[in-house]
Amino acid sequence: MKEKRTNIKDVAKMAKISATTVSAYLNKTAPVNVNTAKRIEMAINELGYIPNRAAKSLRTGRSKVIALIGLYLRNPLTGEFMYRVQEKLAESNYFLDIISLNKKIVPVSDLVKVYDFNHFDGIIIGMIDKDMINYFNESNTNYVTVADYGELTSDFVKVQVDTYAAGNLAAEYLIENNHKKIGLFLNSGLPFVEDFEICKNGFSDRLKMSNLNIEFEFKTPIDIDAIRNSLENNKDQIIENIKKKKITAIFATTDMVAVYLLKLLNNCGLNVPEDISLISFDNIRYSEIVKPALTTINKPVDDIGHICVEKLISMIEKKEAPDKKVVLEPELVIRESVRKI
């Protein structure tokens, strides 16, 4: 015979209070005094009560679930970002559902067969395609995005780091260290995502202010394995251009590119920073572990994660329309990979 599931009435009976009071405590819909709260918690623990989220969703019209869609799980920054999102969601008793697209962007027609996006109270959007952007634009879902799609997402609530300023900072620091022959390793391959190009523009514009140009540019993919393979397969071309154009410093638009590039340069007899300087963007944990530790531009993923959640919960619970765009400032993190010449 199937064992009876413990319900809120059982908790109320053991705590010797009403089911309404237990519900108010669990859902935080009304204040409950400290002694009553302790009795409820004792009853919950003794009975092993687990709230029925599905039933609660039917009653309140909310699922208490936030979806995170389109972030590349192998990117070290993604794990840190998801941790901070989940940390902040837990403060308001929300849950996180992850929809990863990994190496390819899945057509919206396929995704809607699997996921009912109306089930989610809110969505945090990373890398998606134009059809998915249009889908969300036409839906009533609460959402924020952490990627820049330009005019395609003009109506989206965005929480982002100022990538133009990040590029500016990288160029400024190389100029301060007397570098004039400068190369760029640019992540590319994401349709409609403008973040990397904006970063490049910030970098290039600051160089031009000092009558300098990008002397050598190499485009890399986003996927970690693809980055490694691209650098390895083109190492002869890369080293030839560095030597021919007398490149003294390189800016990589992500730390992962810089990490693999550091290894390639060392294997080819070019020491960082003695022979060539290297600066990057992200400030992942690996950047301070590698030798030499990478000088990089910090992307404040902790703040981005927390603000995304705050914006969504504000929209969901208070029905407020938050500011359309929150832009956070990047910061230069000076370590060991850039030298003055």
Give me 151's structure tokens: 């005019």
Which has more pLDDT, 144 or 293? 293
Q: What's the rounded mean pLDDT across residues 136-143? A: 76
Beta bridge partners of 187: 220
The yes-or-no verdict on residue 57 having pLDDT over 50 is no
Nearest 10 degrees: Cα torsion 166, 172, 178, 179: 40
CB 156 within 8 A of CB 125: yes
- Placement of tokens 């030597």 in the chain: 243
Domains of the chain by residue range: 8-51, 65-160+302-328, 163-299
Across the range 142-153, mean pLDDT stands at 77
23-37, 85-99, 163-177, 269-283: which range is least confident on average? 23-37
**Whole-number mean pLDDT of the chain?**
86
Q: Do 163-299 and 65-160+302-328 fall under one CATH topology?
A: yes
User: Which residue pairs from 214-218 have beta carbons closer than 8 angstroms and sit at least 24 positions apart in sequence?
Assistant: 214/182, 214/183, 214/184, 215/181, 215/182, 215/183, 215/245, 215/247, 216/183, 216/184, 216/241, 216/242, 216/245, 216/247, 217/183, 217/184, 217/185, 217/186, 218/183, 218/184, 218/185, 218/186
Per-range mean pLDDT, top range of 139-148, 155-164, 280-289: 280-289
Instruction: Please tell me what DSSP assigns to residue 232.
Output: H
With vertex at residue 291, the alpha carbon angle to CA 286 and CA 297, rounded to the nearest 5 degrees, is 50
| 201 CB burial (10 A radius; 0-12, 13-18, 19+) | middle
Tell me whether residue 203 is exposed, middle or buried, using C-beta atoms within 10 angstroms of its C-beta: 0 to 12, 13 to 18, 19 or more.
buried
Position 224 pLDDT exceeds 70: yes
Sheet containing strand 249-252, edge to edge, reads: 214-220, 182-187, 249-252, 277-282, 295-298, 331-333
Reduced to 3 states, what is the DSSP secondary structure of residue 131? helix
**Choice between 152 and 82, residue whose per-residue pLDDT is larger:** 82
| 81-95, 96-110, 306-320: least confident range | 96-110
Class of domain 163-299 (CATH, top level): alpha beta
154 pLDDT higher than 60? yes
Q: Report, as an integer, the average pLDDT of 205-222.
A: 95
Q: Which residues pair with 96 in a beta bridge?
A: 66
pLDDT of residue 1: 39
Q: Are 160 and 304 in contact (CB under 8 A)?
A: yes
Rounded to an integer, the average pLDDT of 178-185 is: 97
CATH of domain 65-160+302-328: 3.40.50.2300
Q: For position 2, what pLDDT does the model report?
A: 44
Residue 4 has pLDDT above 70, yes or no: no
**Would you state the pLDDT for residue 52?**
59
Residue 220 has pLDDT above 60, yes or no: yes
